Structure 1
Amino acid sequence: MDRQTKTVSLSDERTVSYLDCGDPDGDPILYFHGSPGSRYEEWFFDRPARERGYRVIAPDRPEIGRSDYHQNYSLLSYTPDVAEIASEFDFDQFDVVGLSGGGTTALSCTVALPNRVTTVGLVCSWAPVGSEPQLANQRAPLDWVYKRLTALGPIPFVPAFSILGLAAQQLSPETFTVKLLSGSLSNADRRVLSDPDRQRFMTENTRESVRAGARGPARDAYLRYRDWKFDIADVLCPVKIHHGTDDSFAPYAFGEYLHDNTPTSTLYTYSNRGHLDFFTDLNTVLESLDADSTERLD
């Protein structure tokens, strides 16, 4: 995936790294990786995107992977970057797909760029825990710690992500994914991580996230725990929500909340699936983007 990595220069001379996969002449999608995560996740779109006629561009967010630092990075301040990246590829309009923490970015772009984003795919997406008290009891134990740190700003997140990055770099994939993360894994995710290939992918994805250090992914995560500064009810284009019932990283209640609070959403429920199933199985997500229905499925 490093050999396939490309870069684009923005108007302020910052560099953004990205992967480009799928059908080169296909309908455009911008894919937003998890938090922590990287452009590497897009690779699993390649075959289904080619089969369905989509071209997928996956940028690394600020100071993640090979992308440069953004001094005033916030959810909404990032959306001009997305608009500029899309324009570099002559994408006047495009779909967006966000996985886990990337769902937050997908939603922010949809609110800020309503004339350009046509359909939103949310995959085991994060929800606005910073402003919605009813979501508080749904968080995983580690998320309680991060939410408390949010009041102190992004700097306290840096040591936590430094340790995570060091563990990904120094430990074997099996030790890093199965043992270190065991407290956060649902039964479904343990099943996924019984596969050595997926262990390696999750480890490499985390390593790439902290390639430039922990500051970038730390701020990226911090933004998801605080008030997002936009209202998801303002999302008016079709929203396709994909969520597993056995997800402990982003509990199923997050998907239900997003469904209840976006007026044009469809909820696709996956029984006995967790958070990590979707990293390598995105065909159904692309299939849903083709669907015209905005029926509120439960």
Structure 2
Amino acid sequence: MVVSESESISLSDGRTLAFATYGDRDGTPLVFHHGTPGSSHLGALLSEPARTRGVRVIAPSRPGYGRSDPNPNGTFETWAEDCRALVDALGLESFAVAGFSGGGPYALAVAAHHADRISDIGVVGAPVPAHDGGPFGPLVRFPRLLGVAFRVGAVVARLRGDRVVVDQLTDRSVDDETARIVGRDFRVGLSSGPSGAVRESRALAANWSLSLPDGDVTVWHGTDDENAPIGPVRTTYEDRPAATLREVDDDHLGSLWSVRDEVVDLAD
């Protein structure tokens, strides 16, 4: 069962936080974090394995994406509080958390700040602290130009279709439904403007610290990932005994597709 982004809650400061639910609505909860840029629609990639495993995938759109109001002063920590407000509103006493790509550090922040509520955690293709600007290079130093780049990307995706988005994330051949999900995720993420993508891209390129919870963390990362190269990932996690790095013989989006069953199993 796939449910579009049609639900939302109001946060304490008046902002709206939108989310979508996939899989089994009565299942064990997993909060899934989309990439940068992106939206709740990426959670649809987990819909089928979630349905068959009895898992309820809750996929929020972070501030500035889709129908979620922007937070100009947003940080990893403020997102952790937003996410807690969401699970409180849904009545969840405990939940697993996962994040893909730029959503990985945000998922880790939730787990670190609310360890008492977390049952398991995993990240896929997630960046680690770096100072080279990531996939957006020097543009992160110029937020207006970065915003223009995202707007142009959204226009190109709308004109040329879903495959142009997929091609930025993987070299593998994907079916039409997967391409539709990925393309829609990108377009919806930027539908209200590039504010969320700009803010997150700059945050991930800045001097930030990797938040890790006390419990075990599974890190899946593609050996052919060009968006977040595996070298720095290996270095970052080699001295962190609570983190298990599982290298995947695939690229960025391909890794998520390859381990989607295992990601859903975090909720077991």
Q: TM-score, normalised by structure 2?
A: 0.88
The Cα shift of 1:279 comes to 4.4
1: CA distance, partners of 2:193 / 2:213: 34
Pairwise CA distance, 1:39: 0.7
Number of equivalences: 266
Gap change, CA 1:262 and 1:171, over 3 Å in 2: same
Q: Residue 257 of structure 1 corresponds to which residue in structure 2?
A: 235
Per-residue Cα deviation, 1:253-298 (whole angstroms, up to 9, x for no partner): 2442343253311222222x111124444102233564xxxxxxxx
**Could you tell me which residue of structure 1 aligns to residue 199 of structure 2?**
219
Q: Structure 1, residues 143-188: CA drift from partner, whole Å, max 9, x if none? A: 4334xx34x5x4442122122122112223345544xx4xxx6xxx
Whole-angstrom CA distance in 1 between matches of 2:121 and 2:207: 21
Structural RMSD (CA): 2.4
- Structure 1 contact 32–99 (Cα < 8 Å) conserved: yes
Contact 1:240–1:289 (8 Å) recurs in 2 = no
Which of 137, 149, 152 aligns to 1:144? It is: 137
Give, in whole Å, the separation in 2 of the partners of 1:65 and 1:264: 34
Q: 1:73 to 1:253 in 2, by over 3 A?
A: same
Partner of 2:78: 77
Q: Deviations over 1:209-245 (max 9, x none)?
A: 11101122211221111122x443x521110111111
- From the superposition, tell whether residues 120 and 171 of structure 1 become closer, same or farther in structure 2 (CA, over 3 Å): same
Q: Distance in 1 between matches of 2:137 and 2:72?
A: 27
Q: Does 1:243 pair with 2:214?
A: no
Specify whether residues 29 and 129 from structure 1 end up closer, same or farther in structure 2 by C-alpha distance, changes over 3 A only. Answer: same
2:165 pairs with 1:162: no
Q: Deviations over 1:51-99 (max 9, x none)?
A: 2232111100111011112131111122110110010111122111000
Secondary structure in 2 aligned to 1:286?
Answer: helix
How far apart are the structure 1 equivalents of 2:38 and 2:24?
Answer: 23
Q: 1 CA distance for matches of 2:69 and 2:17?
A: 6
Please, which runs of 5 or more residues in structure 2 have no aligned partner?
none
Instruction: Report whether the alignment pairs 1:36 with 2:13.
Output: no
CA contact (8 A) 2:124 2:256 kept: no
SS of 1:47's equivalent in the other structure is helix
Map 1:1-298; keep pairs closer than 5 Å.
3=4, 5-130=6-131, 142-146=135-139, 149-150=140-141, 154-175=143-164, 177-178=166-167, 181=168, 189-192=170-173, 195-228=175-208, 230-232=209-211, 234-271=212-249, 273-281=250-258, 282-287=260-265, 290=268
> What secondary structure does 1:227 align onto?
coil
- Name which one, 1 or 2, has greater alpha-carbon Rg: 1
User: Per the alignment, do residues 39 and 270 of structure 1 end up closer, same or farther by CA in structure 2, a change over 3 Å counting?
Assistant: same
Task: Write the letter of the residue equivalent to 1:93.
Answer: S
Deviates more, 1:104-113 or 1:32-41: 104-113
- Would the aligned equivalents of 2:35 and 2:100 in 1 still touch at CA under 8 Å? yes
Structure 1 pair 197/20, CA: closer, same or farther in 2 (3 Å)? Answer: closer
What are structure 1's unaligned runs of at least 5 residues?
131-135, 291-298
Counterpart Cα distance in 2 of 1:114 and 1:3: 29
Aligned equivalents of 2:111, 2:255: Cα separation in 1 = 22
